[in-house]
Amino acid sequence: MINLVKDETLSFNNVEDLKKEVNKNQGHFLHTRMKEVSMNEEGLRIEKKNYGLKECGLKSICNRVGIPTTYADRIPTDLLVDSFNRLVKSQPDKPITVNLRKNNVRAIHSDTYMPISNDKIVNALEIPKDLKVKVRDITLGDEFMRIAFTSSINRVEVRKGDIVEVGQEINNSETGYSTFSSLDYLNRLVCTNGATIAMAGHGVRKVHLGYQDFNPNEIIAKGIERMRQSHRYADAFKIMNDKKPLASYLEKLSKDVQASLGKAPTAELVRQWKDQELNMYSIFNEITEVAHTRKDITFPARQNLERIGGRILDNYLNMVK
């Protein structure tokens, strides 16, 4: 196998520590052409200079030339190197952007790709003290950054003792893993479940095309303003408490959950919903609880389950003013 540089994933307890790390280790870009790139056992050679290759970088460059990642993980190193270099020579020579950090390749993009940088986002993140914010998750990796926090000032009591806090989830990827997003985020205190409200009207998404009008300050400020309007969630939860799902809806929902959880665990989960005749609020919580308690699923799978919970809630938010 090629001598890959391991991807890093760091966790932080506060935004200030995240800012220090992001500003200290900013990425940079090399604009070149595909014909200038070749692979060897130690990584990549670009414009006659050697660079390390991150694990996420291997996936990116293999996708660039059409080598399936699962194939790249299994074949002998010499065969992978030879296949990559032959494919580079056989394809049209296009301008590319090489995504680097500490002289290690994290990704190769088309020359039109201009990522929204993590430092631009974190340096714009100023949270008003009166919101009394609690950090729920701050994770920084080579492929993604996630910041989730909630406020204790406008708590929603769904039913006696069942309190939900409203907040924001900010996601970004400098390597093409996902878009930038600033979305409403909910946290149920009784079991620390989270749900991300990712639908229209409850957040913003931006793809990485170097938006000249991208203003993270304005986007984050709008998200914080939505945190102050938590009464809408209280009204939506009341409707969910009185609503039982149709069988056809459960079938569709199970397919969404299965993509993250797998066939057998999802079937067992749906069977329990039917046996207990759960209402929509309870199902919403069951899904988001799985996202936080299952240790055998990936971070993207947990995040997707939170967003499924968010889509359920969004259906009922549309019913209230």
Reading the chain (321 residues) residue by residue, the pLDDT tens digits are 788 999 989 999 999 999 999 999 988 899 999 999 999 999 999 999 999 999 999 999 999 999 998 888 888 999 999 999 999 998 888 899 999 998 999 999 988 888 888 998 999 888 888 888 889 899 999 999 999 998 888 788 877 778 888 888 899 999 988 888 888 888 877 765 566 554 445 566 666 655 556 677 788 888 888 887 777 788 888 899 889 998 899 999 999 999 999 999 999 999 988 889 899 988 988 888 888 788 888 878 888 888 888 888 888 887 876
pLDDT score at 203: 61
β-bridge mates for residue 203, sequence order = 183
pLDDT score at 61: 93
CB 34 within 8 A of CB 90: no
Last residue of a domain, one of 65, 93, 110: 110
Is 299 found in the same domain as 247? Answer: yes
Q: If you search the block for the tokens 């600033």, which residue do you land on? A: 182
- Domain membership of residue 9 (yes or no) is no
- Domain membership of residue 178 (yes or no) is yes
Cα 302 to Cα 260: distance, rounded to the nearest angstrom: 7
pTM over 0.75: yes
Q: If you search the block for the tokens 């971070």, which residue do you land on? A: 299
Is 289 found in the same domain as 246? Answer: yes
Count of other CB atoms within 10 angstroms of residue 185: 28
- Domain membership of residue 104 (yes or no) is yes
Is 179 found in the same domain as 84? Answer: no
β-bridge mates for residue 125, sequence order = none
DSSP alpha helix (H) spans, the chain: 15-24, 55-65, 69-74, 77-90, 118-122, 216-227, 231-241, 247-261, 263-276, 280-293, 299-317
pLDDT score at 200: 43
Q: If you search the block for the tokens 């079991």, which residue do you land on? A: 191
Which whole-number Å values give the CA distances from 218 to 16, 70, 215, 221, in the listed order?
Answer: 20, 41, 6, 5
Cα 255 to Cα 221: distance, rounded to the nearest angstrom: 35
3 state SS of 167: strand
Is 282 found in the same domain as 202? Answer: no
β-bridge mates for residue 171, sequence order = 146, 181
Q: Which two tokens stand for residue 316?
A: 């009922």
pLDDT score at 109: 92
Is 77 found in the same domain as 128? Answer: no
Is 203 found in the same domain as 300? Answer: no
- The tally of domains found in the chain comes to 3
Cα 34 to Cα 264: distance, rounded to the nearest angstrom: 44
Is 222 found in the same domain as 123? Answer: yes
3 state SS of 129: helix
pLDDT score at 296: 85
Is 31 found in the same domain as 127? Answer: no
pLDDT score at 228: 79
Q: Which two tokens stand for residue 221?
A: 């400020």
- Domain membership of residue 10 (yes or no) is no
Strand extents, DSSP E, 80-189 = 95-101, 104-110, 133-141, 145-159, 162-172, 180-188
Count of other CB atoms within 10 angstroms of residue 106: 24
- Domain membership of residue 1 (yes or no) is no
pLDDT score at 178: 82
pLDDT score at 193: 58
Q: Which two tokens stand for residue 47?
A: 């414009």
CB 218 within 8 A of CB 291: no
CB 101 within 8 A of CB 55: no
Provide the domain limits for residue 69: 27-110
